[in-house]
Amino acid sequence: PQGPAPDPAAGRAVHAADRAHVFHSWSAQGQIDPLAVAGAEGSYFWDYEGNRYLDFASGLVFTNIGYQHPKVVAAVQEQAAQLCTFAPAFAIEARSEAARLIAERTPGDLDKIFFTNGGADAVEHALRMARVHTGRPKVLSTYRSYHGGTQQAINVTGDPRRWASDTGTAGTVHFDGPHLYRSPFWSRTEEQECARALEHLERTIQMEGPATVAAVILETVPGTAGIMMPPAGYLAGVRELCDRYGIVFILDEVMAGFGRTGTWFAADLYDVVPDLMTFAKGVNSGYVPLGGVAISQKIAETFDQRPYPGGLTYSGHPLACGAAVATLRTMAEEGIVEHAAHIGETVLGPGLRELAERHPSVGEVRGVGVFWALDLVRDRTTREPLVPYNASGKDNAPMAEFAAAAKRAGLWPFVNMNRTHVVPPCTITEAEAKEGLAALDEALSAADAHTAEAGGEGTGA
């Protein structure tokens, strides 16, 4: 796909209005220069200058079905014509059908759906449900996690974005989940790291007082913090600990859900059923903002005769739900989840591992489906990250050079700290995936220049 003829003057006008009036997320407003985007289709988007980019970031990891899928666009248009909006206390076809389709896909008895506007408010409500259900105050979450930008969600988050707004909220306790490649602990194998992480979690529960812990919240596969596939047995172990201490187990599938891991949910990979599961993003590929909490029978019963203390004006908005119904039906009809698994197994996984063999800057390749991370290092032996934790400005130059090289090669990369994540739409074709791997090959050469093997700025082994 290619957009209409370039129109740099129109692009400059869009950019100028943006800089005059749009206040951007997570940014120093005076230091940003957002690309003016003219359009998008499938796996690509383009600017007003005539540059086209293969989107290996899926926006913010949400366009699982690609941009402008004709069936989803048509469904939004039809829903708008039929019933554009309606208050949440009524039964509306788009809403009830979206809930039915989601409940059909979610694991176990997660059969009731509370709709929100996105991921962060899904997390807010899951935490509230857990606290009301147990009558306990505390929530345990991991360092190296992201759960959203609202107050509770940012406090359970385990990345530096939490620091500025963390008020040390009573009741939030962080622990170290498993991550063998960068584990500071004694473990040397995935099995040991799994045992280490479970022992550490149980100790944390005991030290905090089991009767004070309402919930453990985890991303099934932590996404933003580095696509860290949990070791076999870890999630089952957490499930077991939660059962033993009467703690609500919440899995956050906002990023990992709806096809990204080559299964409907990442939980399916591990055969684990949480008590609450949060979702957003891929549920309708972000065509209209939507998120939610899938609720187990046990938790739903708490609110059977007792009002749930929470709600949103736009809970289950008809346009968002209409988009979800079309997305979920299309994903099933077109075998998109199976396609994501296949592309991961046959193209992305082998292709990324092959790049790692040739590029000394790649320390580790990890992932599944269309959910991959390359952990970039200065030195493979010491595993020193290519840029320091939370680097900015000059310290972050190697990653900035990597990203610039990717863009010159026509690839829009997802970059976080010392990593690039390979998270294209689930619909990416084999040819597009190969095109993206070729662009990554070029961009990694820019990163290699900063490694010990290049004799550059690396520290040496």
Q: Can you give the binding site for ligand PLP, defined by CB under 6 A? A: 118-120, 123, 146-148, 219, 223-224, 252, 254-255, 280, 291
Q: Which C-beta is closer to ligand PLP: that of 148 or that of 344?
A: 148
Handedness of CA 315, 319, 322, 327 (dihedral sign): negative
Report, in Å, the least distance between residue 59 CB and ligand PLP.
10
Q: Which C-beta is closer to ligand PLP: that of 263 or that of 451?
A: 263
Report, in Å, the least distance between residue 50 CB and ligand PLP.
31
Q: Which C-beta is closer to ligand PLP: that of 148 or that of 230?
A: 148
Report, in Å, the least distance between residue 254 CB and ligand PLP.
3
Say how far apart CA 286 and CA 241 lie, in whole Å.
34
Stated as kind and residue range, the H or E segment containing 305 is none
Report, in Å, the least distance between residue 116 CB and ligand PLP.
9
The DSSP secondary structure of 384-426, one letter per residue, reads EESS-TT--GGGGHHHHHHHHHHHHTTEE-EEETTEEEE---T
Q: Which C-beta is closer to ligand PLP: that of 202 or that of 219?
A: 219
List, in order, residues 6 or more apart from 426 with CB less than 8 Å away: 64, 65, 259, 260, 282, 331, 336, 337, 339, 340, 369, 370
Q: Which residue is nearest to ligand PLP (CB)?
A: 119
Q: Which C-beta is closer to ligand PLP: that of 152 or that of 427?
A: 152
Q: Which amino acid is at 333?
A: E
Q: Which amino acid is at 210?
A: P
Cα angle for residues 232, 378, 146 (degrees, 5° grid) = 45
8-state DSSP, 3: -
Report, in Å, the least distance between residue 314 CB and ligand PLP.
14
Report, in Å, the least distance between residue 107 CB and ligand PLP.
17
Contact of 43 with 55, CB cutoff 8 Å: yes
Kindly calculate the radius of gyration of the chain based on its CA atoms and give it in whole angstroms. Answer: 22
Q: Which C-beta is closer to ligand PLP: that of 79 or that of 116?
A: 116
Report, in Å, the least distance between residue 189 CB and ligand PLP.
27
- Distance between start and end Cα atoms, the chain: 46
In what side-by-side order are the strands of the sheet with 213-219? 110-116, 291-296, 276-279, 248-252, 213-219, 138-142, 172-175
Q: Which C-beta is closer to ligand PLP: that of 193 or that of 219?
A: 219
- Three-state DSSP state, 343: helix
Report, in Å, the least distance between residue 78 CB and ligand PLP.
25
Q: Which C-beta is closer to ligand PLP: that of 89 or that of 164?
A: 164
8-state DSSP, 230: P
